[in-house]
């Protein structure tokens, strides 16, 4: 269930700026600029977090853990 909600929150990278296009009707270049600015701002939230987590990970309480491959 936690993975599902993390997936839903991860869509916040894309949905808010794309939802503005049909709602407000800006031109496509303006929509692309808003989209790019939103993605950059969303990605920049990682610098505000002390653990360097993305906002969707922080909100859901998940963590990306690096795993070393097992060498035999």
pTM > 0.75: yes or no: no
Q: Return the domain boundaries, the chain.
A: 2-60
CA dist list (Å): 56 to 1, 5, 25: 14, 9, 28
Pair 8, 62: CB distance under 8 Å = no
Q: What is the pLDDT of residue 50?
A: 87
Q: Which tens digits make up the pLDDT trace of 23-62?
A: 888 788 888 898 899 889 888 888 888 888 888 888 888 8
């Amino acid at each position: 269930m936690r993975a599902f909600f993390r997936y839903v929150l991860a869509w916040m990278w894309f949905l808010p700026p794309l939802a503005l296009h049909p709602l407000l009707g800006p031109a496509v270049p303006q929509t692309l600029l808003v989209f790019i600015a939103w993605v950059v701002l969303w990605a920049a939230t990682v610098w505000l977090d002390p653990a360097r987590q993305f906002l969707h990970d922080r909100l859901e309480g998940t963590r990306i853990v690096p795993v070393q491959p097992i060498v035999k």
